[in-house]
Amino acid sequence: MAYEVKLQLKQTQKLVMTTELRQAIQLLTLSRLELQQTIKEKLLDNPLLEEVPEPVSEDIPSIDLTNASPAEKGAEDGSRNGDNSEPLKEVNWEEFLQSYQENAGYNLSSDFSEEAPNLENMIAAKETLSEHLHKQLALVVSNDEESKIGSLIIGNINENGLLSMSLEEMAQRYEIDLDRLRSVHRLFRDFVPEGVAAENLQQCLMIQLENRGMKDSPAYEILKNHMDELTTLNIRRISESTGISEGEVKKALKVIRELDPKPARNFGGDEIRYIIPDVYVVKVDDDFVVYLNEEGLNNIRISQSYKKMISKMKLHDDETKEYIEQKMRSALWLLKTIQQRQRTIYKVAKSIVEKQRPFFEKGISHLKPMILKEIADDVDLHECTVSRVTSNKYMHTPHGIFELKFFFSSGIVANNGDSISSESIKERIRNIIQSEDKTKPYSDEKIVQILAKDNIFVARRTVAKYREELNFLPSSKRKKIV
């Protein structure tokens, strides 16, 4: 057989994850408090940004969300934001200073702000990691077997958020098919916090890079194939082993340091936290209106003193000019990304309200089963984007404050053909137990019979599972002796 050398051209399409797009995704994932902290850090880091000293006046134009232009709507999903992927051009200072609006936002009206609930009504016990992961698991499993395996995985996560044993050990100990276990374990790669349930630190960090679109980056290469050298932090040795320049190695190490080696660090404990809603839903006449809570998010702008200075000075020094342009781009991108984040939250919240209207009219018992794909298709976003939007974001409703994730749940089909969500069934079980005779509490089997009268047919073990999730003891331990 003869061998020959050929030169072959191949055209491929590849999604490039720009720094700006990565920042947009990160801001979308942050909770409200985390975003406010990020804004504070940016104010300290960027001299071209300043905090607005007074509340925004009414004469400053605001964005009408319900009548947003196609260009504005196109900016809501980073993956379709064409102008974000283009190289940033040199700043046209005169054009910018003439057209820049000091602030653009869409916030609560003054009338509505006065009706905002008291902070005392926003106290909640911190959700445990197990609760947080079980909620996400319920949205992605397709059968009881996957649910059981997923619960088993969650039960073997240590305080750092990593598995306490390998998948091979777990399969052997619990007599589970290893391939089936690995299949369910892969579902956790898309869970929040990123990297949770990884088998080891290396996998945890690699998952975080994968979710940021950095699988082809030097940082990923170092983590995947040179973990031993990484522990020594010997830049020259890593460079020689990887063939990556020392400068690129330093940049890669900086990226790796920004990853979270302990994804469970923000969970656990009984501390009290304050929940400040990201959106408010208010009934106006016969309709439910969605308001974004902009407090603390629209209080930054381009520094007025720097604007005046730039308009008067002629920048002949290339280094100074490059520095100011870089800071200006960073400032403009932050303002734009925050607006983009808020628009996306608004779209998703509005879609949830439309699809879960019975809940807003009558309460939890009327919550319908819903999956991420329904909202994703409705607002023309990817399911992963909707998942990021609904994590750690809260909605104030006429029936209380709920995480946006709450509105997504599995369900069953009643005899009349209606779908009933698991959260709705839990609420009915809660009401049944709370209204029972405390001297003769209902057994799980009795609760099954009561639900059946309402055409809700569930197994006794399902009732027991929901009862435990609601933190109710078995009937034998609920009984009170008069």
Read off the pLDDT of residues 359-405 as tens digits, 9 standing for 90 and up: 999 888 788 888 888 999 999 988 888 888 898 899 999 888 889 98
Give the largest Cα separation in the chain, rounded: 96
* CA atoms of 141 and 135, how far apart (whole Å): 11
Average pLDDT in the 52-65 region?
A: 47
- Poorest-confidence range of 52-66, 83-97, 134-148, 464-478? 83-97
Specify the higher pLDDT residue, 351 or 320: 351
* CA atoms of 215 and 438, how far apart (whole Å): 58
Domain ranges in the chain? 15-53+275-409, 129-257, 410-478
| Tokens linked to 98 | 């003439």
- Poorest-confidence range of 103-117, 246-260, 284-298, 460-474? 103-117
- Does CATH number 3.90.550.10 belong to domain 129-257? no
Average pLDDT in the 16-24 region?
A: 65
pLDDT over 90, % of the chain: 21
Q: Are 280 and 137 in contact (CB under 8 A)?
A: no
- Poorest-confidence range of 52-56, 61-65, 140-144? 61-65
User: Cα 296–300–305 angle (5° rounding)?
Assistant: 150
Omega prior to 261 cis, within 30 of 0:
no
CATH class entry, domain 410-478: mainly alpha
Average pLDDT in the 436-443 region?
A: 88
- Predicted pLDDT at 17: 55
3-state secondary structure labels for all residues of the chain: CCCCCCCCCCCCCCCCCCHHHHHHHHHHHCCHHHHHHHHHHHHHHCCCEEECCCCCCCCCCCCCHHHCCHHHHHCCCHHHCHHHHCCCCCCCHHHHHHHCCCCCCCCCCHHHHHCCCCHHHHEEECCCHHHHHHHHHHHHCCCHHHHHHHHHHHHCECCCCEECCCHHHHHHHHCCCHHHHHHHHHHHHHCCCCCCCECCHHHHHHHHHHHCCCCCCHHHHHHHHCHHHHHHCCHHHHHHHHCCCHHHHHHHHHHHHCCCCCCCCCCCCCCEEECCCCEEEEEECCEEEEEECCCCCCCEEECHHHHHHHHHCCCCCHHHHHHHHHHHHHHHHHHHHHHHHHHHHHHHHHHHHHHCHHHHHHCHHHCCCECHHHHHHHHCCCHHHHHHHHCCCEEEECCEEEEHHHHCECEEECCCCCEEEHHHHHHHHHHHHHCCCCCCCCCHHHHHHHHHHCCCCCCHHHHHHHHHHCCCCCHHHHCCCC
Is residue 298 scored above 90 in pLDDT? no
| Tokens linked to 12 | 């491929």
Is residue 187 scored above 90 in pLDDT? yes
For residue 118, what pLDDT band results from cuts at 50, 70 and 90? very low
Average pLDDT in the 88-102 region?
A: 43
- Poorest-confidence range of 62-76, 212-226, 244-258, 329-343? 62-76
For residue 104, what pLDDT band results from cuts at 50, 70 and 90? very low
For residue 99, what pLDDT band results from cuts at 50, 70 and 90? very low
Q: Which residues pair with 157 in a beta bridge?
A: 163
- Predicted pLDDT at 63: 36
* CA atoms of 435 and 424, how far apart (whole Å): 17
- Predicted pLDDT at 162: 93
Is residue 340 scored above 50 in pLDDT? yes
Range among 29-33, 77-81, 94-98, 320-324 rated most confident: 29-33
- Predicted pLDDT at 352: 95
- Predicted pLDDT at 206: 94
- Predicted pLDDT at 188: 95
- Predicted pLDDT at 241: 86
Domains 129-257 and 410-478 share a fold: yes
- Predicted pLDDT at 212: 86
Looking only at the bridges linking them, the beta strands covering 394-397 and 279-284 are: parallel
Is residue 471 scored above 90 in pLDDT? no
Is residue 64 scored above 80 in pLDDT? no
